[in-house]
A = this chain, B = another copy of it.
Amino acid sequence: MAGGVRARRKAERPGEILEAAFEEFVQNGYAATRLEDVAARVGVTKGTIYFYFENKEQLFVAMVRELSRPVHLQAEEFAASNSSTAPEFLRSYLCFLYRIIATDPRGREILRLLIAEASRFPALIDEHHQNFMGPVVRRLRQVLDDGNAKGEIRQSSVLEFPELLLAPALSLNIWMLLFSDRRPIDMERHFEIAVDLLLNGLLPRTTSESNKP
């Protein structure tokens, strides 16, 4: 039993601090967050933070990395999975991305921090692109290509900008970041409609000739 409480505490400290840091940084932004408040949230004193992290900047970076990692892992895992048809996979993939980009408060707020502090922490942006956005876009392009080859996806220049498929999730993200307090959104419904829009577009399906000659 020796070393129980102490040791357990120690092992958990960094995580606790990162968690608290996340909340404070999200609430106030990087510059306006006081390490003292982060410490207080954990129930320790300022000094303790410096025992685990070099300085405020490093704490921020570590926090973003820590909270991003599980998401990146999940995304990797999901991308590796497969489904029968392209539209089917697309639907489940987009659902997954919706969840981690727009629905999950964590992912949402991390994105806020990245947008806000992009110029101060370019390395984080790079990592985010390398570990998440890049692979996601590549996977989307692949699905579109394959689906197109199989005739499941129409011939379209969307293949040039597969990230357009993320647009509904990203715009919902912004909407939530800006207006969530004001007017609640039915995110499930938003997703359903977005998928419908992406798959079928706005123009009536009945006409045999397209309207853009």
Residues of A bordering B, CB below 8 Å = 27-32, 87, 90, 111-112, 114-120, 122, 125-126, 128-129, 133, 144, 147, 151-158, 160-161, 163-164, 166-168, 170-175, 177-179, 181-182, 189-190, 192-194, 196-213
Contact = CB atoms under 8 A, between A and B. Distances in A.
A161 B196 CA distance: 12
A29 B156 contact: no
Contacts of A171: 163-164, 166-167, 170-171
Given A29-B117, A199-B203, A204-B153, A125 B193 contact: no
Query: In terms of DSSP, what is the predominant structure of the interface of chain A?
Result: helix
Contact of A177 (B118, B166, B199): B118
A53 to B, nearest CB: 17
Contact of A154 (B122, B147, B211): B211
Given A196-B158, A200-B203, A202-B156, A168 B178 contact: no
Contacts of A168: 164, 167
Nearest to A26: B119
A144 B202 CA distance: 9
A15 B198 CA distance: 43
A171 B203 CA distance: 22
B200 A212 contact: yes
- 4 interchain residue pairs of minimum CB distance: A201-B201, A116-B116, A31-B31, A167-B171
Contacts of A167: 167-168, 170-172, 194
